[in-house]
Structures are given as structure tokens and as C-alpha cells.
Chains A and B, each alone.
Chain A
């Protein structure tokens, strides 16, 4: 963590690369998968035509999925490094793990929505950022596993039973729609349309957070950084 000129480096190169890979592979899968799920809808033919047919779209979908899972596994190693070797405090304020404060923050946020209190002072990760991060674990576990089951159907038939292909199709499709819906309506709102970040919060791509912005958006973290002498108070 270094001190910048009027900004604070919140994400290092690995964080940024990891998000970038997750984002691009997610978009890749989102654009190639649904035309097959909704193949009888009017737009599916056009969208599939854009990729040059089912075969190509399937190929892109699998390559993207491969990179996404690789990104996920590398992140798991990164976590293991921090927890096992660096002995990081999992429940500390710098951790992305849920804490009691997150519940208080959620309640505080809802109170603020209805003019019943001040906006909560957030720490390094807000509860919605934590939720998005955890959702990736659930998503990869559900969509990834079912995706591999469908990718290698004969192996699925051999290991368990062919009926799990029916199950895998349900899980893969439903969870994908959930993920796409969540990204569109919640994640993109929080990172693009919120008053504090409109039209876009570029911190996940630049890594740099202006201290002025940090002070407003994550007041508790700002106060801690000032206390720890990591940034100069404004």
C-alpha cells in the first residue's frame, strides 16, 4: 500500500487483472450462452449468427469458461497464500469476509434510504462488494460444475447417471440468469449509477481511489488510514 498524490492505491495489479479476466470471460459467456437457452426467441438466431453458429459459440463459451475457472483457481491460491502463509486476519477490517458490522451497515443503509439516519461509515469493503465477491464462489461452484457436467456428458453418465444432465441443465441456466440479472441490476448500479460514482467508478481498473472520494464513500476506512498514518488528512 502506497501513498499517492491525492489518491490511494486500493487495488494492486493482481486484483485488477483478476477482475478484468472475470469481467471479460463473464461477458463472453453471457453473449454466447443465452442464444442457445432461448433458441426459439426472435433474437437468438441473429445473436447466434453473429458468432457464426452454434459450434463457434460453443467453442467461445468453453474457452471463456476455462479462463474464468482458471482465474477462480488462481484466486483460491491467492487466498490460501494470505491465510496460510501471511496469516492475515480473516475477520479484520481489511478482510473481505463478512463481519457483524456488515449487518449494521445494511440496516443503516436501509434506514438512510428512508431518511431515518445518516449514511453508514463504510470500511474497506462495503457489504454489497462482499456479497458480489462471495456470489462468484457460489456461481462458479454451481455454474462451473454443471457446465463441466454438460461439457462431458458421457463422463457424467458414467460417474453418476444421465439424469444429472437434466439436473445440470436446470442449474446451469437458472444460475446463469441469476448471475446476469444480478450483474445488470445490482453490480452495475453500484459501480456506475450511484451518486458517488456516476458515471463510473474506475478504481477496479486504475487501482487508484481519489482521497476525496474515499473520504465520502468509505468514511470509516478513511479515518482508519489517517489514524494509521497511511494517508494525510485532507
Chain B
């Protein structure tokens, strides 16, 4: 957008200058000029701004209410962002570069400048945004999410649509959507889509795969819009399919009662059966341990007999005695064998 056409070295001067040799020379000059002046305009703009804004300690001493006082832009992050080739002024429009305080066009709010800057290069995304609930909130009172609320500003990543990495999908859900819709995100991350995504399965859907990335549909069960969203990945889906609930609370408090009944039944079953099984095994174990150690339990000792038996000095002594006696008899048998052999 900001690369101006440079006329490929075609001079507008007298025709006589255009001899074959000079032509090449001029072309070379133009190339140098192009490289040296026009293309790095963005770079020079950035370098200029970063003299101050590249300092991590550079802060606004009189910040507006609720405004982050830091005026720092991480140069490295910006260099890696998809907008690295752009000049600062291609987005930060409408101010006069006076130092130390820039003169700002007071007729437009910061957010308005920001949204217009995005619109100038991404008109289609902006049109889709216009139809969303996000935009409605914004136009009603200059609050609510605009482009930069979700995309960030200086570190926008380079992403190929439809080919986003699992990490990108996960972090967008958590850090962009989840920043305002924390509850929805916490609910959705318990379902398989996000679980698979968190393990690196990039095909699994994240927020924007169903809700759209600029039109932000609300999606209710049974609606045609919802079915279309499901069918993007599940081509065989029918209206019944849309009754799957992506946003259920922990413990299924907000779910249909049938789901709560199933949840209560199976979690109770899980606990009761395992507790009974483990209790049975434990008392079995204590009995066999007592048999092996040769001690009888009394009272509660029947239940915890094996612990007492293992702690009891005299029992350990008895076991040692038995092992010694065993070895004694074995060596005696050996001796008898040897004597018999002679």
C-alpha cells in the first residue's frame, strides 16, 4: 500500500540525455535512489520513532484515565510482525510530529484513528466487522472491541487463512477472545476441540472457526447459521447436531437436566465402585501381609495389622529369626548331603 510507484528510472528531462550509455547510468541512479530513498522510507520512519519509542522506560507522564502509560514499542516484535514493512505513520495518522509532545487531531479519538487505519488496507474485513455485535457496541459509545482489541497492534502475526497453527488458534482463543469471554473460553476448553488443539492438532476448531472472525455470530442450537458453522468441518451435520453444547459449566450446572443426571450417576458410580474395590483389596492385603509375617491382629489391629506388624520390633526380630533358621536348616541339609556323598 505504501510502496509508491517509482517510474522505473524513466527521466522526465530532455530526450538528449537518453543515450544508450546514459540510459543505463540513469537506470542505475534511479535504482540507487529507489533503494536508498523510497523503499526505506518506512524503515527511516521507524528508526526515527524508535529513538524515543524504542526505549522500554519511555512513558507518558500524564496518561489519560485508564491508559497504559508506557509508550514503548518492542522493535524486535514489530520487525517480526506481518506489518514490519509498513511505516509507523501508515497507521498512526493525523498528528503533527512536534517534540516532545506530538500534536494530535483532537476531532478524532485514538480508537477512531486506529479503526480507520485498519480499514484503509483491509476494507473487506472491516465490512464484515460492521455487521458484528462488537461493532454495534463500538458505534454506540466508542467502547467495546475494535480491530486492535483482538489483533493487537505492533505484534500482529503473519498467518495464512485456513492454515493457522494450533498454537496460533489456541492463543487467539485464550488471549484475544478469552480476554473478554473468559467464561466462554473456560467452558469450551473442556470440550474435545480445544483439548485436541492444545495438543497441537491444528485441524480442530477454535472460537473463530465457528463464530467467524469478523462477523462474530452468536450461534444458537437449531439455527441455520449454527448448522452452517458446524458443516464447515462436519459436512454430514443435520439440525439435530447443533444441539451439541460447546459451552457447559464445570459440573454441568447450566446444562439440560438429562446431562446433569448422567453426570451425577456416572461420577457417583465411579467413586463408589472404586472405593469399594480398593477397600476390599486393602483388607485382603493386610490379611496376607499378616500371614506372611506370622502375626495375628487384635481389635483395630485386624484392620491396620500389617502396618503395626511392619513397625513392631519383635515381629521384625521374629522374621529375622525365621530367615536365620531357614538358612541354618538349608546349610545343615547341604552338610548332610556332602557327608552322604562321602
Question: Hey, which bits of chain A sit against chain B, CB under 8 A?
Answer: 35-37, 39-40, 44-45, 48, 53-55, 109-110, 112-115, 150, 153-163, 165-167, 169-171, 174-175, 177-178, 181-182, 185-186, 189-190, 193-195
Q: Which one of A44, A153, A174 contacts B241 once the chains associate, using CB atoms below 8 Å?
A: A153
Contact of B242 with A167 in the complex, beta carbons under 8 Å: no
Enumerate B264-304 residues with CB–CB distance to A below 8 Å. Answer: 266-267, 269-270, 273-274, 277-278, 280-281, 283-288, 291-292, 296-297, 302-303
A39-B195, A159-B240 known, 10 other contacts, Cβ within 8 Å? A36-B196, A36-B199, A39-B198, A53-B201, A55-B203, A150-B192, A166-B255, A167-B262, A178-B270, A181-B277
Contact check, A171 vs B199: say whether CB atoms are below 8 A apart.
Answer: no
What's the dominant secondary structure at chain A's contact region?
helix
Total residues of chain B contacting the partner, CB 8 A: 53
Task: Give the shortest distance, in Å, between A141 (CB) and chain B (any CB).
Answer: 13
**Distance to closest chain A CB from B79 (angstroms):** 30
Contacts of B245 in A (CB 8 A): 162-163, 166
- Asked if residues B274 and A174 are in contact (CB atoms below 8 Å), the reply is no
Q: Are B242 and A162 in contact (CB under 8 A)?
A: yes
The residue in chain A whose Cβ has the minimal distance to the Cβ of B276 is A186
Contacts of A181 in B (CB 8 A): 270, 274, 277
Distance between Cα atoms of A162 and B274 in the complex (Å): 30
**Is the Cβ of B240 less than 8 Å from the Cβ of A158?**
yes
Given contacts A162-B244, A185-B274, contact A175 B284 (CB under 8 A): no
B70 within 8 A of A: no
Report whether A157 and B241 are in contact in the complex, using a CB–CB cutoff of 8 Å: yes
B185-220 interface (Cβ within 8 A of A): 189, 191-192, 195-196, 198-201, 203-204
Which of B198, B244, B258 lies in contact with A153, CB distance below 8 A? Answer: B244
Chain A CB within 8 A of B236 CB: yes
Chain A CB count within 10 A is highest, among B248, B262, B286, B291, for B262
**A194-B243 in contact (CB<8A):** no
A170 to B251 alpha-carbon distance, docked (Å): 10
Q: Are B259 and A170 in contact (CB under 8 A)?
A: yes
- A174-B267, A189-B281, A195-B291 known; A166-B248 Cβ under 8 A: yes
